[in-house]
């Protein structure tokens, strides 16, 4: 089963995701075609044996059945059908219903296919040796098979071989040679190779040419690798590349953003807010950040990161009052629609800490904080406790409630809540005095990152 390498030059580490080996999958047959192909296979036709094996492997026109698939594929493979060898190797590498994973057996079939000239099989063998899967780990053998596949035009193998040279795995370290293999892989059309070339030039001990790094990242993005948008955005927004044509980069980023690519929307928002490559325009920055938040598939911390960037813009002083109102309205609509507890806490913060000119609305702040807190959000718990601790607006001070909610927020890791809880214990606010607990929460707040 093909694995595409995703090594990171910065960390000199590697992770991998599985992709199916490149086999020629037949079209799904109708009942008449299925019967005819089975008849041909029974009479010894090798291509038909392979096709019937695929039908059962993929569940095409028949119920998926790995045991039956392996029987037909083995017959075809024993008659030198390379595609059958590859699919059998994949089956034994991964295992499945009725087929126990057997990496050593997978290696046998990969090797037979490689000896028949399959670049895919040679690449898979390289990975089996690199990770010691079904064979004794050997980077020397891995390099041997990667080289064979790369010389036969396999782009993934070119990338793998490039990393072997970059890191000195199985060959003497030679960054220039690694670079050359990345170039060959990029010429073969692999966007990942273009990103790795960007990484190459971005590192001080490699290329140390940020302008070339940006150029390669942009090429990678244009070839379909959206991961390359981020380093371009960071370098330009942080002004980390004196040789970059910021205007050209901003124009390129805007085209991506206008095609609703979330990361590009985020960085285009940053460009407008900071004036990187474009005239500073916080309102347009806000619009792109909103679009990023609306179209991005964000979860957990990434979702919160997007929300908090908009909150930071709200508090920056760069927006006109009308734009701030528009942003707050958007926050409220989005929170109500998505039940986003982090956004609810942000809205509570806004209402509780509005500037005097626009007026505070503590009741609205408490309502949003309570909605957030009831979903378990630490910041929401903090703001509920805060309003009750101060007795803000028409909300009566209630030390017991304040203590209860601050305790929940502190237990969820909110540092501000820990500090207030320490004070509550020290002075007996809403609870009995307890210097030991006061000191403990104060220490925890100070040590928390």
Least confident interval from 7-16, 192-201, 393-402, 417-426? 7-16
Do 1-188 and 360-449 show the same overall fold? yes
Query: Considering only 77-91, 224-238, 302-316, 354-368, which range has the smallest mean pLDDT?
Result: 354-368
* DSSP codes, 314-375: HTSS-S-HHHHHHHHHHHHHHHHHH--HHHHHHHHHHHHT--TTT---HHHHHHHHHHHHHT
Fold of 1-188: 1.25.40
Can you tell me which residue has the tokens 């942080």?
A: 238
What does the pLDDT average to over 170-184? 95
363: number of Cβ within 10 Å = 14
Q: Where are the domains of the chain?
A: 1-188, 360-449
94: Cα within 13 Å, side-chain hemisphere: 18
Tell me the per-residue pLDDT of 130-154, one tens digit each, with 9 for 90 and over: 999 999 999 999 999 999 999 999 9
**CA 92 – CA 107 distance, rounded (Å):** 9
What is the structure's pLDDT at 106? 96
Return the pLDDT at 207. Answer: 60
In 3D, which of 445, 432, 427 has the Cα closest to residue 382? 445
How far apart (Å, rounded) are the C-alpha atoms in residues 172 and 377? 52
Write the pLDDT tens digit of every residue in 344-368.
999 999 999 876 545 679 999 999 9
Closest CA to 381 of 362, 391, 368: 368
Give the contacts of 149 (CB within 8 A, at least 6 positions apart): 119, 120, 122, 123, 126, 156, 157
- Report pLDDT digits (tens) over 51-103: 999 999 999 999 999 999 999 999 999 999 999 999 999 999 999 888 899 99
List all residues 6 or more positions away from 212 whose beta carbon is below 8 Å from its beta carbon: 201
Report the pLDDT value the prediction gives residue 22, as an integer from 0 to 100: 47
Please give the pLDDT value at position 242: 85
Beta carbons within 8 Å of 298's beta carbon, 6+ residues apart? 262, 305, 306
**pLDDT exceeds cutoff 90 at 222:** yes
CATH 1.20.58.220 fits 360-449, yes or no: no
**Stated pTM of the model:** 0.79
What is the residue whose two structure tokens read 């990678």?
220
């Amino acid at each position: 089963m093909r694995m595409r390498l995703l090594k990171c030059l910065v960390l000199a580490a590697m992770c991998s995701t599985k992709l199916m080996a490149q086999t020629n999958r037949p079209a799904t047959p109708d009942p008449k075609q299925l019967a005819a192909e089975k008849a041909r296979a029974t009479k010894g036709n090798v291509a038909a044996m392979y096709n019937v094996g695929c039908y059962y492997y993929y569940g095409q026109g028949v119920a998926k059945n790995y045991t039956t698939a392996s029987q037909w594929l083995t017959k075809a493979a024993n008659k030198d059908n390379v595609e059958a060898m590859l699919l059998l190797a994949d089956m034994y590498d991964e295992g499945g219903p009725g087929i126990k994973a057997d990496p050593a057996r997978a290696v046998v079939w990969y090797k037979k296919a490689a000896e028949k000239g399959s670049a895919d099989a040679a690449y898979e063998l390289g990975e089996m040796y690199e990770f010691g899967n079904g064979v004794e780990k050997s980077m020397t053998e891995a390099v041997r098979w990667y080289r064979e596949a790369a010389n036969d035009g396999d782009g993934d193998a070119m990338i793998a071989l490039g990393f072997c040279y970059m890191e000195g795995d199985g060959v003497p370290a030679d960054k220039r040679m690694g670079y050359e293999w990345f170039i060959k892989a990029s010429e073969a059309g692999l966007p990942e190779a273009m990103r790795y070339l960007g990484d190459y030039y971005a590192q001080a001990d490699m290329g140390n040419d940020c302008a070339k790094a940006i150029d390669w990242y942009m090429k990678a993005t244009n070839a379909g690798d959206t991961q390359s948008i981020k380093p371009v955005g960071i370098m330009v927004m942080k002004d980390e590349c004196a040789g970059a044509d910021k205007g050209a980069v901003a124009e390129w980023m805007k085209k991506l953003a206008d095609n609703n690519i979330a990361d590009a929307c985020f960085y285009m928002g940053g460009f407008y807010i900071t004036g990187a490559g474009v005239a500073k325009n916080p309102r347009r920055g806000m619009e792109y950040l909103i679009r990023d938040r609306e179209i991005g598939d964000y979860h957990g911390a990434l979702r919160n990161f997007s929300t908090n960037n908009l909150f930071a813009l709200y508090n920056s002083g760069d927006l006109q009052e009308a734009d701030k109102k528009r942003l707050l309205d958007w926050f409220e609509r989005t929170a109500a629609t998505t039940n986003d507890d982090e956004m609810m806490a942000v809205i509570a913060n806004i209402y509780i800490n509005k500037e005097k000119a626009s007026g505070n609305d503590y009741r609205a702040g408490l309502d949003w904080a309570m909605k957030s807190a009831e979903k378990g959000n630490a910041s929401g718990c903090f703001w509920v406790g805060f309003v009750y601790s101060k007795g803000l607006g028409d909300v009566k001070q209630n030390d017991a409630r304040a203590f209860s909610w601050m305790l929940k927020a502190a237990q969820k890791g909110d540092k501000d809540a820990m500090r207030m809880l320490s004070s509550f214990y020290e002075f007996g606010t809403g609870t009995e005095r307890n210097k030991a607990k006061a000191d403990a929460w104060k220490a925890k707040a100070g040590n928390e990152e």
